Amino acid sequence: MVQFSTRMDLLKGSEIRELLKLTAQPDIISFAGGMPAPELFPVEQMMEASRAVLEENGRAALQYSSTEGHPRLRQQIAERMLAKNNIHTDADHILVTSGSQQGLDFSARVFLNPGDVVLLESPSYLGAVNAFKACEPRFIEVPTDNGGMIMEELEKILATTERVKMIYVIPDFQNPTGRTWDLERRHQFMEIVNRYEIPVIEDNPYGELRFEGEYLPALKSLDTKGLVIYLGTFSKILAPGYRIGWVCAEEHILAKYNFMEQAASLQASTIGQMETSKWIDMFDLDAHVATIRACYDKRRKVMLETLERELPEGCTFTHPVGGLFAWVVLPEYMDAKELQMKCLEKKVAFVPGGSFFPNGNHENTLRLNYSCMPEEKIVQGITALCQTIRENLR
């Protein structure tokens, strides 16, 4: 008889992915996904990069290549991490993965036995929770405030919890809340982590998409004990369609990720890596990111202005200074899943927030994405959402 493994009892389809199917009709105003704006993809330039790769090096591009990744790309990633995140590293400390989702999966498999404890922000990225679940850990949610993870709470949990094997955090423009940790909190965090010597997974897909204020150093750049494993991706600054992400970590840790990659998929796409690398060499990634930033900033402003104007009393929302998401907390009695069904009738979609809490509850929350809709649709959609909330106030 066909018997599945116990891990399969824990894995369900991502609610977001299911919801995205519902929202695929073109007339839906969707704040549900976390996708980059496709109208900003440099399609013409990608054609040039692709032609150059196949012309200059076609056979190599279509062949198997090393597990570690394309050498030139790893070098470009290392240079970019220095320029943007003040992380001093080199190509030998980079492993290219099939999107940073694969980096999340590998992180779980490198560190977690069933029953081990993962600490994460409450709420946290659903895709990470899903990847970790396949290793059957216990999740402990660290309380947060508007500045992100609360360090006193982290300290308390670490002081009283056995088997904490890793801490997963998104310090910049977090998914789903849009919150960012300030510099003091980053230093506090590293001080605590250094004391307990727990590996940290720093997930930074949105770091370059800052609209206001100063760039803050990545945790990895403050890491003196080699505890931080940094996950990066080209999905939000170039294009997700290639599935190119990376892991940056100390050598003895990265070696384990490398073994996982060999077992899991041998390597990331050779041609995808080479085209990404070639595009970076031929064109101006900084200028491209500036274009993305300008576009999302406008959309964010419109969303926040509309929320400010339309969201009924008793509800709150975050004020992200970068990234793709804002987060709304409804009155406690309100269920965002029910709200979602009512909004779908009005052709407006978002993600109910409950699934971002691995241990459940918080059904009165929701996530809004602003990167994918033009401004007039944002006004229209947020107005309809707020109207629906108003209709359901007690």
Interaction between residue 8 and a second copy (CB under 8 A) = yes
Q: Which member of 61, 219, 231, 285 binds a second copy (CB under 8 A)?
A: 61
Task: Judge whether 142 and 120 are in contact, CB under 8 Å.
Answer: yes
Among 26, 27, 59, 214, binds a second copy (CB under 8 A): 59
Sequence-ordered strand ranges (E) for 147-193? 148-149, 164-169
Residues 255 and 231: beta-carbon distance below 8 Å: no
**Min CB(23)–a second copy separation in Å:** 13
Which positions from 115 through 134 interact with a second copy, judged by CB under 8 A?
Answer: 116, 127, 130-131, 133-134
Distant-in-sequence, close-in-space partners of 109: CB < 8 Å, separation ≥ 6: 134, 135, 260
- DSSP secondary structure string, 43-86? HHHHHHHHHHHHHHHHHHHHS---SS--HHHHHHHHHHHHHHH-
Among 240, 323, 352, 381, binds a second copy (CB under 8 A): 240
Binding residue for a second copy (CB under 8 A) from 51, 195, 309, 390?
Answer: 51
Q: Which is nearer to a second copy, 192 or 384 (CB)?
A: 192
Q: Strand pairing of 316-317 and 325-329?
A: antiparallel
Does position 110 interact with a second copy (CB under 8 A)? The reply is yes
Q: Which two tokens stand for residue 344?
A: 């779908």
Among the residue ranges 101-109, 168-176, 336-344, 383-391, the one whose residues contact a second copy (CB under 8 A): 101-109
Among candidates 218, 208, 231, which has minimal Cα distance to 128?
Answer: 231
For the segment 346-385, give every residue that binds a second copy (CB under 8 A). none
Minimum CB distance to a second copy smaller for 4 or for 394:
4
Q: 3 vs 214, which CB is nearer to a second copy? A: 3
β-strands 365-369, 325-329 pairing: antiparallel
Output 138 or 256, the one with its CB closest to a second copy: 256
Question: Applying CB under 8 A, which of residues 173, 242, 296, 356 lies at the interface with a second copy?
Answer: 242
Shortest approach of a second copy to residue 90 CB, angstroms?
Answer: 19
Q: Does residue 31 belong to the site contacting a second copy (CB under 8 A)?
A: no
Residue 331 preceded by cis peptide, ω within 30: no
Q: Is 258 one of the binding residues for a second copy (CB under 8 A)?
A: yes
- Report which of 18, 125, 12, 46 is spatially closest to residue 344, judged by C-alpha positions: 18
Using DSSP's 3-state secondary structure scheme, residue 243 falls into coil
Length of the chain: 394
> Parallel, antiparallel, or unpaired for β 164-169 and 117-121?
parallel
* Of residues 137-166, those binding a second copy (CB under 8 A): 165
Spatial distance between the Cα atoms of 2 and 132, rounded to a whole number of angstroms: 24
- Residue 34 DSSP SS3: coil
Of 17 and 309, the one with the shorter C-beta distance to a second copy is 17
The answer to the question of residue 390 lying near a second copy (CB under 8 A) is: no
x/- track of binding to a second copy for residues 198-237 (CB under 8 A): -x---------------------------x-------x--
The answer to whether residues 292 and 38 touch, using CB atoms and an 8 Å cutoff, is: no
The verdict on 75 binding a second copy (CB under 8 A) reads no
Rounded Cα distance, 276 and 253, in Å: 26
Of 100-108, 146-154, 292-300, 303-311, which part binds a second copy (CB under 8 A)?
A: 100-108
Residues 261-290 close enough to bind a second copy by CB under 8 A = 262-272
Interaction of residue 111 with a second copy, rule CB under 8 A:
yes
Q: Kindly state whether residue 195 participates in binding a second copy, applying the rule CB under 8 A.
A: no
Distance CA 15, CA 12 (A): 8
300-319: contacts with a second copy (CB under 8 A): none
